[in-house]
Amino acid sequence: MATTEKSADTTGMQAMSPTEPGAQTMTLSVGPQHSGSGHMRLIVELDGDIIISAMPDPGYVHRGIEKIIELRNIIRSIPVIERPSIIDASNLNHAWVKAIEELQGVEPPSRGQYLRCLINEMNRIMSHLYWLSIYGVFLGHTTMFMWPLGDRELFIDLAESLTGARITYSYLVPGGVRRDLPKGFAEETIKRTKYFEKRLDEYENIFFKNPLFTSRAKGIGVLTRERAVALGSTGPTLRGSGIDRDLRKDEPYAAYGELDFKVHTRPDGDSYSRAMVHMDEMRESSQLIRQILEKLPSGPVRRKAPIVVPRGEAYARVESARGECSFYLIGEGGDKPYRARYITGSYRNLTAIPEVLKGVRLADMPTSWWSIDYWPVEADR
Amino acid sequence: MSLTHEREDVLVKTLKENFPSDIKEATVVRRSRINVVVPPEKITNIAVFLRDKLGYDHPSGVSAVDYNRESRFEIVYHLATIKTRDQQDIVINLKESVPRNSPRAVSLVNVWPGVENYERESMEMFGIQFDGHPRPEKLFLNDNWEGPPPMRKEVRFPTD
């Protein structure tokens, strides 16, 4: 297999390519199309097949959610807030209830906090699996499209038995969570996570060590450490550039301060690094789920909280599957917020797209772009 | 977790000492959250100081808030740090107010490149002008959008 040759050749071409648009270049409009995650358009400037600039044109799935939140009470807003990323619903839901609880001064009971972590980690796995399956499509690897979507059902079934819904749960409410564990949930979950970790080994063998993937990911689409910081990148994109930041550790919330887990980073900032961070995080989250079930304290899962946003402001943030999700909430004492600013991981990583795609071959564009795990609906909100 | 806010207090004190007349207000809101209110004409200097001297190199977002009863927009820069490890949890909200009838502010893209899209969103959604912004174009709205800036308080939904 001529893997190394191919990588070296690509690097050489990048070094020779001009960096300024000119008479010899071509502008290509990619999209707006639905790439498995919502409509999105990129305006790409090409010299031959080398991308010299790529500007994202978001907004095709903008719903005005910040405005909608201002007009509804805080409980009715929960399903709306989950919509931008239905595959990662509980993490977005968590940022919202955390902001409300900060203003209300309500602290959920310990068991409720653990159950929040449980659904969050299940969601992180489900979200990363969905990401991986689309990555498989972009690389023309049909097995990697089918397997993660199939294995995602393991967790979807569990989430359904816990919350009553397959993907958008509205499980977290101010003061705790809606339901306690159903009978037999812990045993079934432990069994499934162990099976899932064996499947991850198979993923690694069939895909992550496969030259089909590595030759199109290693050294391609580089986001340097310095640029990742300056552009405000977050989540796996930031950790893929070698920066050891994760809000679950940096500003421990819910029960994360009592749990033992590792933050995974990769040093190179290329597509490969970002992809491997996703892979490592799935394994970590799977182990974390078992740990949560072992340490789960007894007691109530919910405390009464009023349907009121007290006067004042709060800035709450959580680590969602795609990075930091934050709410800047301003209350006036009514049941609706005066203003709720909603910033998601994908919105923050939008600035990384032009950086990552610069100098990449057009054929490598889908894989480089998707390694950021940019979810258009989550960015547009 | 300690109940005192020592690290936050040190940051507030440093800011007040370095900009005694420019900072209108610097307060610890709660643990890990600091609000700093500055006049719009001084914001660039203070932003550069935050980035270079206090390590606030990681922009986390920009919010605009329409205080229509007070005839002003508030622009809030949410800032975090990668450089200073022991302040990893402390977020500084850097705030400035611009009048509602002529909303103009200075763009901070030169200080934090990552705020580019948030400022663009504040332009289209609130009608605030950011001087010196490299791409003062629509971000989410259509280029041919002719209505008022939709996030302003006077814009209501038909169902509301």
Residues in Cβ contact with A183 at an 8 Å cutoff, skipping those fewer than 6 apart = none
Residue B98: strand pairing partners: B73
Q: Is B112 on the interface with A (CB under 8 A)?
A: yes
Chain A nearest-CA distance from B132, in A, is 18
pLDDT for position A10:
42
Contact B150 A64 (CB under 8 A): yes
Categorize the per-residue pLDDT at A5 as very low, low, confident or very high, splitting at 50, 70 and 90.
very low
Categorize the per-residue pLDDT at B31 as very low, low, confident or very high, splitting at 50, 70 and 90.
confident
Instruction: Kindly tell me if the per-residue pLDDT of A38 is higher than 80.
Output: no
At B87, list the tokens.
């302040």
pLDDT for position A2:
37
Q: Are strands B91-99 and B33-37 parallel, antiparallel or unpaired?
A: parallel
Instruction: Quick: pLDDT tens for A253-304.
Output: 999 999 999 999 999 999 999 999 999 999 999 999 999 999 999 999 999 8
C-beta separation of A338 from A70 below 8 A? yes
Work out whether the CA dihedral A351, A342, A321, B138 comes out positive or negative.
Answer: negative
pLDDT for position B7:
86
At A189, list the tokens.
């979950």
Categorize the per-residue pLDDT at A7 as very low, low, confident or very high, splitting at 50, 70 and 90.
very low
pLDDT for position B3:
60
Average pLDDT in the B129-136 region?
91
Chain A nearest-CA distance from B129, in A, is 19
Q: What residues of B are in contact with residue A64 (Cβ under 8 Å)?
A: 150
Flag whether B126 is in a domain: no
For residues A38 and B57, the model is more confident at: B57
- Domain range for residue B69? 6-101
The Cα–Cα gap between B81 and B60 comes to 9
> How many separate domains does chain B show?
1
Q: Name the DSSP class of B27.
A: E
Instruction: Give the predicted TM-score (pTM) of the model.
Output: 0.89
pLDDT for position A34:
73
The Cα–Cα gap between A209 and A365 comes to 20
pLDDT for position B85:
86
Flag whether B107 is in a domain: no
Residue (of A161, A268, A276) closest to A213 by Cα position: A276
pLDDT for position B4:
76
Q: What residues of A are in contact with residue B117 (Cβ under 8 Å)?
A: 347, 350-351
Categorize the per-residue pLDDT at A203 as very low, low, confident or very high, splitting at 50, 70 and 90.
very high
Nearest CA in chain B to A60: B140
Q: What residues of A are in contact with residue B32 (Cβ under 8 Å)?
A: 251
pLDDT for position A23:
61
Could you say which of A71, A232, A251 has the minimum Cβ distance to residue B114? A232
Contact B141 A62 (CB under 8 A): yes
Q: What residues of A are in contact with residue B138 (Cβ under 8 Å)?
A: 59
pLDDT for position A22:
54
The Cα–Cα gap between A251 and B60 comes to 15
Chain B nearest-CA distance from A356, in A, is 14
Instruction: Kindly tell me if the per-residue pLDDT of A14 is higher than 50.
Output: no
Contact A230 B117 (CB under 8 A): no
B residues 23-52 near A, CB within 8 Å?
A: 29-30, 32-33
Element (H, E) at A27: strand A26-34
Instruction: Quick: pLDDT tens for A222-250.
Output: 999 999 999 999 999 999 999 999 999 99
Could you say which of A59, A231, A330 has the minimum Cβ distance to residue B65? A330
Where b means 16+ CB within 10 Å and e means fewer, B75-93 reads bbbbbbbbeeeebbbbbbb
Chain B nearest-CA distance from A195, in A, is 36
Contact A67 B150 (CB under 8 A): yes
Instruction: Kindly tell me if the per-residue pLDDT of A18 is higher than 60.
Output: no
Which superfamily, per CATH, for A54-380?
Answer: Cytochrome-c3 Hydrogenase, chain B (1.10.645.10)
Instruction: Kindly tell me if the per-residue pLDDT of A49 is higher than 70.
Output: yes
- Domain chopping of chain A, boundaries: 54-380
Average pLDDT in the B28-33 region?
88
Burial of A161 from C-beta contacts in 10 A (0-12 / 13-18 / 19+): middle
Residues of chain A whose beta carbon is less than 8 angstroms from a beta carbon of chain B are 58-59, 62, 64, 66-68, 71, 102, 229-234, 243, 245, 250-251, 313-315, 317, 324, 326, 328, 330, 338-339, 341, 343, 347-348, 350-351, 380
| The Cα angle at residue B74 between residues B72 and B80, in degrees rounded to 5 | 175
Instruction: Kindly tell me if the per-residue pLDDT of A4 is higher than 80.
Output: no
Interface probe, candidates B60, B70, B124, B152, chain A, greatest A C-beta count within 10 A: B60
Q: What is the CATH number of the domain that holds B89?
A: 3.30.460.80
pLDDT for position B12:
86
Average pLDDT of chain B to the nearest whole number? 89
Average pLDDT of chain A to the nearest whole number? 88
Contact A339 B66 (CB under 8 A): yes
Interface probe, candidates A62, A313, A347, chain B, greatest B C-beta count within 10 A: A313
pLDDT for position B156:
81
Could you say which of B82, B141, B150 has the minimum Cβ distance to residue A245? B82
The Cα–Cα gap between A237 and B139 comes to 22
Categorize the per-residue pLDDT at B108 as very low, low, confident or very high, splitting at 50, 70 and 90.
very high
Flag whether B148 is in a domain: no
Q: What residues of B are in contact with residue A343 (Cβ under 8 Å)?
A: 60-61, 78, 118
Chain A nearest-CA distance from B139, in A, is 7
pLDDT > 70 fraction of chain A, expressed in percent and rounded:
93
Flag whether B139 is in a domain: no
DSSP string, B66-124: EEGGGTEEEEEEEEE-SS-GGGTT-EEEEEEEEESSS-EEE--TTT-GGGHHHHHHHHH
Instruction: Kindly tell me if the per-residue pLDDT of A15 is higher than 60.
Output: no
The helix/strand/coil state of A176 is strand
Instruction: Kindly tell me if the per-residue pLDDT of A335 is higher than 70.
Output: yes
Categorize the per-residue pLDDT at A140 as very low, low, confident or very high, splitting at 50, 70 and 90.
confident
The Cα–Cα gap between B50 and B46 comes to 6
